[in-house]
Structure 1
Amino acid sequence: MSFGGDPDRYPHRDEVIAYLLRYADRLDAEIRTRTRVLEVGYGEDVFRLSLEGGSRLEARTVVAATGAFGRPHLPDLAGLESYAGTVLHAADYRVPEPFTGQRVVVVGAGNSAVQIAAEIAERAQVTLAARHPVRFARQRMLGRDLHWWLTRTGLDTLPIGRFLRTPPTQLFIDDGRYSAAVAAGRPDRRPLFTGISDSKVIWSDGSSEEVDTILLATGYRPDLDYLAPLGALDASGRPRHREGMWLTRPGLAYVGLEWQRSLSSNSLRGVGRDAVRTARCVAAHLARFGEEGRAG
């Protein structure tokens, strides 16, 4: 469904919500909100879904469309478990005012990390710490947004997800404000600290200093624990799939995973392409299932 509006203007939050509500109204489907799936099992040729509150559903197929951002990722950083200060994830961040006058270290090098660090740096002393330097990319080139160029050149849709065991280093898409802030030292930029002692972080040069808050802008992972009974997840909790199709249990598929097929698989502009493909595969599976049932 077309988003509508001026294609050269960036939509705000309420416009995105309104688009999704219009999309939902068009669907010939029962939509149950505030209905959490606790577990998906399988037996006697059907999936059995246990829902919060005790109710159950059964289905021939299940599409896990809960996306790639359900669980904040907490990295294994030396000494973090014994840190005496405050540890937050970017998911918990709302406004910069509570950090006024503090010494803050923001861990990460992506959009959230840089934007949050720059915002807090207006009120506090902030360091942006990461294993890799921030890789800035211009948001607009020759009058067009970077994503316009990705779509026009076809790079946005290349089905290369199966070849990426881990996503490539993230680019920070910048209109110039944030690269200027980092260049000016607000926030300053350092390699990731090597350890923590009480409320102090230990930097790579051996120096240490008191830090009030460590804010982890370290991304997210899919929240798919409800599929664990199916053996559908690897040791890190990521789903075993090939371009959104099942590798473990026929009839189980995915939509909205990061790099499911392409760069835009987990975004509004790209998820529709994957959804069409997933729907066709699911329909083909149901057709085969029906033929087997009639043959039996």
Structure 2
Amino acid sequence: MLKSLLRKRIYETKIVMNKKRVCITGAGAAGLIALRHVREDPDLEGCIFEQTNSVGGIWKYVDKTGNDEYGIPIHSTAYKGLRTNLPKEIMGYLDYKFPDSEHSYINHEEVFNYFKTFADSYKLLEDIHFTTRVINIQPNVIPEQPEWKVTTENLTTRLTTEHFFDSIIVCNGHYTKPYLPNITNLKSFKGEIFHSRDYRTPNIFLGKRVIVLGAGPSAIDISIELVEFASQVILSCNESRCAMPNKILIHSPVTSAKENSFITATGNEIECDVLLLCSGYVYDFPFLSPDCGITVEEGKYIYPLYRHMINAMFPTMILIGIPFTVCPFPQFDCQIRYFLQVIKGKLTLPSKDEMLQEIKKEERERLENKVPLKHSHKFGDKQWEYNIQLAKEAGFLNLIQPVIQKVYDRAGLRRLNAPANYKHDHVTIIDRETFEYVEDLHTPMK
């Protein structure tokens, strides 16, 4: 009896004849642009289920770490001093740019305000269900009903509800579940161990010797931030990839631990008080039923995704934002625009077998080129051709501006050569093809 009172079945929360219903998970960068395009299309209607009380995803800064008031791991991974590692001039959606401001590399609050303004401008809040967690998505087996059954939980009341939709847009992000590297005898280390998802401010490391493990943007930025607080900062990474200030020591990756030190891949022993893991994240979709056909190998490769986004087993489901080493927000926009043309029947996908064959072909090419499994969705230079292909087929090629790639490449080179200073640079977009890039004239950090 109690279960029946706590569980409510809703077949249609809003019935509109001849409209396809779209479920969007998450109100971050991908979810908001998805909802905007769904709302603007007369053939579609949809909503977002968002487990926090705000839009913005990981860009909503939260001081607290660990679990929230509902016992769920805090979604945001932003730290207090976070600034973007791409200039805002190329970060916006295809037709909704960041506002003009003094800086090109902006802080997390400015990014969060961009999303708040975007949501208000398109009146998205009325179709976002906050503090509502998606706990299960599975194909619907009821005849003559929409294809997907979605079960949600209202976190304030703990009531669960079933909804039915024609398509699913998964926008839960992939910067929340930490990847933990394999370090021999790690439990023997008597110092402190953190993952960057729980890093907020550098002052707690005052006077400590800190090893930062990683070579990505977070590892580099946090290492630079720690210099003024820690007694010693050691960046543990592939040395050839790091042009760091002299204040930061560089060693090869740590491979094993002792009580008060770590051994690196080259055999050096480094004493330290703290190991800060900037080792990245894994893909995680705990709300997807096994019946959806999605699997994640070693936390890094998602199968079977056609064009790195569409579920080949159920092509009315898309996973947004899986490619990495990209300019993310414009690509989210491209993927959404393409997918909506698919679910409306204006674009025809290959058959399931053909999509699976294409995925297997990519896998063979990866193996032939000796690309690690963890880099299966790594794009880099491939992102531009990918975006153009989607735009050509879905009819929005006029929104793709060549200058975005040019700025991205210029900013990437500057970031590599001057990691401590590039965030003071300034970019001006002149037209679709040209830009001005002014480098920081501050005294470089030594």
TM-score normalised over the length of structure 1: 0.71
Corresponding residue for residue 302 of structure 2: 239
Alpha-carbon separation, structure 2, partners of 1:213 and 1:42? 46
Corresponding residue for residue 190 of structure 1: 251
| Gaps in structure 1 of 5+ consecutive residues | 137-178, 289-296
CA contact (8 A) 1:78 1:196 kept: yes
The DSSP-based 3-state class of the residue aligned with 2:339 is helix
Report which structure shows greater RCO (CA 8 Å, sep ≥6).
1
Once the two structures are TM-superposed, the CA of residue 209 in structure 1 deviates from its matched residue by 4.2
Alpha-carbon separation, structure 1, partners of 2:312 and 2:268? 49
Alpha-carbon separation, structure 1, partners of 2:163 and 2:335? 25
Once the two structures are TM-superposed, the CA of residue 204 in structure 1 deviates from its matched residue by 4.0
Corresponding residue for residue 101 of structure 1: 207
Change (3 A) 1:271 1:17: same
Alpha-carbon separation, structure 1, partners of 2:346 and 2:315? 8
CA contact (8 A) 2:210 2:276 kept: yes
Identify which of 10, 19, 33 aligns with 2:130. 33
CA contact (8 A) 1:254 1:278 kept: no
Corresponding residue for residue 182 of structure 2: 76
Q: Which amino acid aligns with 1:16?
A: V
Once the two structures are TM-superposed, the CA of residue 285 in structure 1 deviates from its matched residue by 9.0
Corresponding residue for residue 199 of structure 1: 260
Q: Which amino acid aligns with 2:306?
A: R
Identify which of 260, 276, 281 aligns with 2:337. 276
Once the two structures are TM-superposed, the CA of residue 234 in structure 1 deviates from its matched residue by 2.7
RMSD value, Cα: 2.8
Alpha-carbon separation, structure 1, partners of 2:113 and 2:103? 16
| Gaps in structure 2 of 5+ consecutive residues | 1-94, 350-446
Alpha-carbon separation, structure 1, partners of 2:187 and 2:313? 35
Alpha-carbon separation, structure 2, partners of 1:135 and 1:94? 25
CA contact (8 A) 2:342 2:348 kept: no
Once the two structures are TM-superposed, the CA of residue 5 in structure 1 deviates from its matched residue by 2.9
Corresponding residue for residue 118 of structure 1: 224
Q: Which deviations, in whole Å up to 9, do the C-alpha atoms of 1:117-145 show, x marking residues without a partner?
A: 12212222111002x23636xxxxxxxxx
1:13 aligns with 2:76: no
The DSSP-based 3-state class of the residue aligned with 1:223 is coil
Alpha-carbon separation, structure 2, partners of 1:242 and 1:101? 50
Alpha-carbon separation, structure 1, partners of 2:266 and 2:240? 20
The DSSP-based 3-state class of the residue aligned with 2:129 is coil
The DSSP-based 3-state class of the residue aligned with 1:226 is coil
The DSSP-based 3-state class of the residue aligned with 1:55 is strand
Corresponding residue for residue 326 of structure 2: 263
CA contact (8 A) 1:106 1:117 kept: yes
Corresponding residue for residue 313 of structure 2: 248
CA contact (8 A) 1:255 1:278 kept: no
CA contact (8 A) 1:110 1:134 kept: no
Once the two structures are TM-superposed, the CA of residue 35 in structure 1 deviates from its matched residue by 1.5
Between 1:71-80 and 1:119-128, the stretch displaced more is 71-80
Between 1:237-246 and 1:116-125, the stretch displaced more is 237-246
Count of residue correspondences? 238
Corresponding residue for residue 163 of structure 1: none
Alpha-carbon separation, structure 1, partners of 2:205 and 2:98? 39
Q: Which amino acid aligns with 2:233?
A: V
CA contact (8 A) 1:105 1:129 kept: yes
CA contact (8 A) 1:50 1:56 kept: yes
CA contact (8 A) 1:251 1:285 kept: no
